[in-house]
Amino acid sequence: MSLFVASIGFGLVTASVLAIAAVGFTLQFGVTDVLNLAYGAIMIFGAFLAYAVNQAGVSVWAGLLVAVAGCALVSVLLNVGVYTPFQRRGSSPITLVIVSLGITLIIEFGVQAVAGGTSVSYTMGSGPTLRAGGLNLTGVQIIIIALSVLVMGGVHGLLRYTKLGKAMRATAANQSLARNCGIRTGRVITVTWALTGALCGLAGVVFAIDSGSFDATATDLFLVLILAAVFLGGPGQAYGAMLGALVIGLATEVSAAFIPADYKYVIAFVVLLVMLGVRPAGLIGAQA
């Protein structure tokens, strides 16, 4: 039983990392209609930026800020410099996915070329361990959960209450009509990529913290979890991504209490394939 409760704790941590990542991914898709498979690569890029800062003797939390800024910049450049030109040319969605795979190779192995192939870890303490009612979480893990909750709250606040959030939702819902309302959708899209790029960087660093040790290819498998969460909730739906992250995060960790730990990701894969086959619009999305 205590194993079960402990796994729920781990599930919450995984769900927290996943939520930050999945919300960013899904918002990018919602506003530009591109499955940015390079998202995982940009995450690990951010993780290594923080590592570089960390190696210079600074706390990894300061490195996190550098990662956030760096990934925001890279994401904006990616959309403006690569995806938008291809879309303007009328390239098919398949072409864009292949392009995003190419970008993944460039970024991921670019990082590996610079940082080397061995696994690294951040120099940081894990803080006091909380043991309560079967839960078994370190201080850092609790910080990650708290960060994620903050970010979710922030995203919710942004989308519901700010002008920018409204503009983002309008642009995602109907870009042409949004322009007729006077919304400068070009700017909105660029800002969206900057914000989601920041989320991507944040997700990369907390992912690396939670994983302990990581190398340049560490996010390959994680991207599948992100896709599973996104498609469960419905591509483009921010709240769907949050829900999907919670479900996938818990399901993978809780299943590890019952089946060999190596198979815990299988659940995510199965969920994703079932969603694609049965209801691609997701649980929350409207039927196409």
Nearest-approach distance from CB 140 to another protein, in angstroms:
27
Nearest-approach distance from CB 61 to another protein, in angstroms:
28
Per residue in 130-151, is it b (16+ CB within 10 Å) or e — as a string? eeeeebbbbebbbbbbebbeeb
The phi and psi torsions of 174 (rounded to 5 degrees) equal -165, 95
CA nearest to 153, candidates 242, 247, 226: 242
Contacting residues for 100 by C-beta, under 8 A, at least 6 apart: 34, 35, 36, 37, 38, 83
8 contributes a contact to another protein by CB under 8 A: no
Contacting another protein within 244-273 (CB under 8 A): 260, 262-263, 265-266, 269-270, 272-273
Residue 246 to residue 281: CA distance in whole angstroms: 18
The answer to whether 151 and 199 are in contact (CB under 8 A) is yes
Number of residues near another protein (by CB under 8 A): 63
Q: Which C-beta is closer to another protein: that of 50 or that of 82?
A: 82
Q: Which C-beta is closer to another protein: that of 43 or that of 140?
A: 43
The phi and psi torsions of 137 (rounded to 5 degrees) equal -120, 140
Nearest-approach distance from CB 179 to another protein, in angstroms:
4
Q: Which C-beta is closer to another protein: that of 12 or that of 226?
A: 226
Site string for another protein, 128-167 (x = CB under 8 A): -----------------------------------x--xx
First to last CA, the chain: 43
57 burial (CB, 10 Å; 0-12 / 13-18 / 19+) is exposed
Which helix or strand (DSSP H or E) is residue 121 part of?
Answer: strand 120-121
* Half-sphere exposure for 258 (CA within 13 Å, toward CB): 10
Contacting another protein within 92-121 (CB under 8 A): 92-99, 101-106, 108-110, 112-113, 116-117
Among 86, 138, 210, 283, indicate the residue that binds another protein (CB under 8 A): 86
Number of H helices and number of E strands within the chain?
12, 4
Residue 59 to residue 51: CA distance in whole angstroms: 10
277 contributes a contact to another protein by CB under 8 A: yes
Nearest-approach distance from CB 203 to another protein, in angstroms:
19
77 contributes a contact to another protein by CB under 8 A: no
Site string for another protein, 36-75 (x = CB under 8 A): -x--------------------------------------
Nearest-approach distance from CB 33 to another protein, in angstroms:
9
Which residues contact another protein by CB under 8 A? 35, 37, 82, 85-86, 91-99, 101-106, 108-110, 112-113, 116-117, 163, 166-167, 169-170, 173-174, 176-185, 216, 220-221, 224, 227, 231, 260, 262-263, 265-266, 269-270, 272-273, 276-277, 280, 286
